[in-house]
Structure 1
């Protein structure tokens, strides 16, 4: 039944828009022309459609949110007294069994006559509620639409109402984004606080040993867990620096060539080909790094007398740098291409060469966008997981040697949260502490980038 509600509401809203626009045109024709109307006819149509769709969608959304809770309460009240006196966890199991039977599944444990009867009650209540809500939604769509249709006059400020409604909708969307961000930060923060109640903050930030696993013997180094995050962040920075040493020069120079030197025909087909790199799955890059780049680096190291690990930061960084080239290249190309031609013409008029114009005029003018693209690439490099797992390994070694195996923050977070974990041990809570520290690091990186952008923007505005 619910699958037909959204199309019905959409069709009724379209009909309301058509009728509202038609009524506005009729009023305008009877009053002496469009100039007599306060708003355009389309504004009256949108006003009628909003009045028709908004109440119906609100009722529908509220029911979807509260449906399971309401029916579960009603079904619980229909259970025998002995089942209602069960503990909360046991009662939840009974309700889950009732739902399994109601949805055509199989019950276990309490699959007696009472549970079977409750499953039938659940189906009856669900069917009745679906029909009732469907009727309410249709009524809530038609009645307000008819009222809005009757209120259309030449003096109705339909444009103001439509614009106010649109602004309220945009504010709600912004609020959802802000609240989502706040929820993510708070959820990570609360779990990290629980971790720091077991592990001192100074030991986590300045510790040089990372071994969150519990050892089998007491005499092992990690028997009580070692949660020093320095090796993890050192590996993250090492791989990110290698990746950016590849991505920034190649990406920025590619953007300068495509925007300033390449012909329009070459730019038309070269830029999409370059952007294909961004669409390749990261697991494919991981296979390429593990099966091709890492063995090649190891063989070259052996031939030149260097000791190279089978999994190295250099292999992961090189492949990651190739992966994020489009982030720098595409965005920088768009920003450089958007610099006004008048600035280039003025530089040429003063006798500057093409290279001097690019260096002293175009690049400084496009610097805020270029910094933004580099910052996005850095965030992408820091957050990459698959390539590091397949090419750099899981060993948390405190080393800045690119030929050794290291790990990153994201890899450790995934490793700590894989499988059925209890969120009451420092081992699991360490993932949230790593996430919080990574969030603070990226926030500081954003602040520094904004200061750099603001400094140069003031110079050229």
Structure 2
């Protein structure tokens, strides 16, 4: 029985449990002449939870554990000469066994009789069923595939019996437990509280998992490359030393050029997006009429829905050539020599286009924060004789400052993590310069570069991507902590 069918049966039993819980509570209260402690719906939910939670937990555990157990059992059935091979070789053999097992499920009884003839006879049979094997196998793989199918079928059967049986047992137990004096509401609310705590913990556990997954690979990287060379190096050249006649990997993994490019491009983008976004938010929140606001705000927010690759194309095809040609015209007018001093791929190009992309983040979030300031503060300021601009500058903006800082933090994080715009608008050259008219690159671009291609996963050229990712994580964490400090400081002042 498929997992979807099992889930459907469990859900049907849960609905039945809910109905039985309600009717049982009502009937037993009427028979005993006492009032129910909780409403009827809580008794139904009590029975539903006892039916669905244990069975779904068992199903999830079974689906997670059984593949590993079956995989281990199949590997144990391999011949001794295969067990003596490396884990990678055994993994390839197990992949072939999986392919054969899937193919065997498509064969009828007559075709299954040809399986014993060996792998050479099996291949054309599977090919006739549309199953292509990606290599030459051995005869032992057929027996392993048959065992794999048998154990998988047995596991599926027992999973179906146990999960549905546990759901029925939970249903019967819950109905038996229902009495007028049972505190069903407390039990249901306790279960909901546990679910809410679990949902809240997902973000924390996800963050911990991300850090741990990057930390282990980062430690492996620093075993090959000194940390001081990485954090304070000014040259990024993660080449293979094999290209210069040696056998070990070599290169220069200086973080400074990448970090400088990340901060520089994000700064230019914020320099462009923050004033325009805040001015737009101020106008829409305090000065614009209802009709114009209803038209303009959704139109600005459309910018946030455009894919970043489209912005990259816009920078590559339009903005970059425009700035290059404009600089050539200016140079021709000033010096008489039409030489472009702005390259098509540059920090300025990437910053301008990224700033356009960030405008709706600043504008929309700041607009919502400004409009959330209590109306009494506006009326009080205007009543004391302040103008609308004075009210905006001295009352509303200070009161909304914690929220605006949060909006700017979100915008800065978005700018730091951008990749596609930088690739197309600023290039991939890791250089250290203060000239905004020249190309630079960012940490995220190099993470993508180092994780793509034919490099081995255990080489420093690949592992450096995890060191870059962990560094970027802690930079963002530092921004969050500082922003939290600012938010709390001004929140205490205006609350």
TM-score interval (norm. to shorter): over 0.9
2:326 is equivalent to residue 292 of structure 1: no
Per-residue Cα deviation, 1:76-106 (whole angstroms, up to 9, x for no partner): 4555666556554443333221111111244
CA contact (8 A) 1:235 1:400 kept: no
Moved more, 223-232 or 153-162: 223-232
Counterpart residue number, 2:389: 355
- 4+ residue runs over 6 A deviation: none
Count of matched residue pairs: 455
2:125 is equivalent to residue 125 of structure 1: no
Q: How does 1:299-448 map to 2 (within 5 A)?
A: 299-305=325-331, 306-448=340-482
Q: For the residues of structure 2 that align with 1:131 and 1:397, how far apart are their CA atoms?
A: 61
Secondary structure, in 3 states, of the residue corresponding to 1:366?
A: helix
Counterpart residue number, 2:121: none
Q: For the residues of structure 1 that align with 2:442 and 2:232, how far apart are their CA atoms?
A: 16
Per-residue Cα deviation, 1:361-396 (whole angstroms, up to 9, x for no partner): 111111111111100000000000000001100111
Counterpart residue number, 2:278: 252
Counterpart residue number, 2:19: 18
- Structure 2 CA distance for partners of 1:232 and 1:20, relative to 1, 3 Å: same
Secondary structure, in 3 states, of the residue corresponding to 2:224?
A: coil
CA contact (8 A) 1:413 1:431 kept: yes
2:6 is equivalent to residue 5 of structure 1: yes
Q: CA deviation at 1:67?
A: 2.2
Q: CA deviation at 1:173?
A: 2.7
CA contact (8 A) 1:336 1:363 kept: yes
Q: CA deviation at 1:313?
A: 0.9
Q: How does 1:54-453 map to 2 (within 5 A)?
A: 54-79=53-78, 88-104=87-103, 105-107=131-133, 108-112=135-139, 114-214=140-240, 224-305=250-331, 306-453=340-487
Q: CA deviation at 1:359?
A: 1.3
Q: How does 1:31-42 map to 2 (within 5 A)?
A: 36-42=35-41
Secondary structure, in 3 states, of the residue corresponding to 1:123?
A: helix
Q: For the residues of structure 1 that align with 2:81 and 2:464, how far apart are their CA atoms?
A: 43
Backbone CA RMSD of aligned residues: 2.2
CA contact (8 A) 2:455 2:461 kept: no
Q: For the residues of structure 1 that align with 2:456 and 2:410, how far apart are their CA atoms?
A: 34
CA contact (8 A) 1:234 1:400 kept: no
TM-score by length of structure 2 reads: 0.86
Q: For the residues of structure 2 that align with 1:121 and 1:290, how far apart are their CA atoms?
A: 57
Per-residue Cα deviation, 1:37-71 (whole angstroms, up to 9, x for no partner): 22222211111111000111011101110121222
Moved more, 67-76 or 11-20: 67-76
Per-residue Cα deviation, 1:269-291 (whole angstroms, up to 9, x for no partner): 32222111111111111000100
Q: CA deviation at 1:180?
A: 2.0
Q: CA deviation at 1:132?
A: 2.1
Per-residue Cα deviation, 1:89-137 (whole angstroms, up to 9, x for no partner): 443333221111111244443332x322322232232223212211221
Secondary structure, in 3 states, of the residue corresponding to 1:197?
A: helix
CA contact (8 A) 1:242 1:314 kept: yes
Secondary structure, in 3 states, of the residue corresponding to 1:324?
A: helix
Counterpart residue number, 2:491: 457
Structure 2 unmatched runs, 5+? 104-130, 332-339
Q: For the residues of structure 1 that align with 2:191 and 2:488, how far apart are their CA atoms?
A: 35
Q: For the residues of structure 2 that align with 1:168 and 1:345, how far apart are their CA atoms?
A: 44
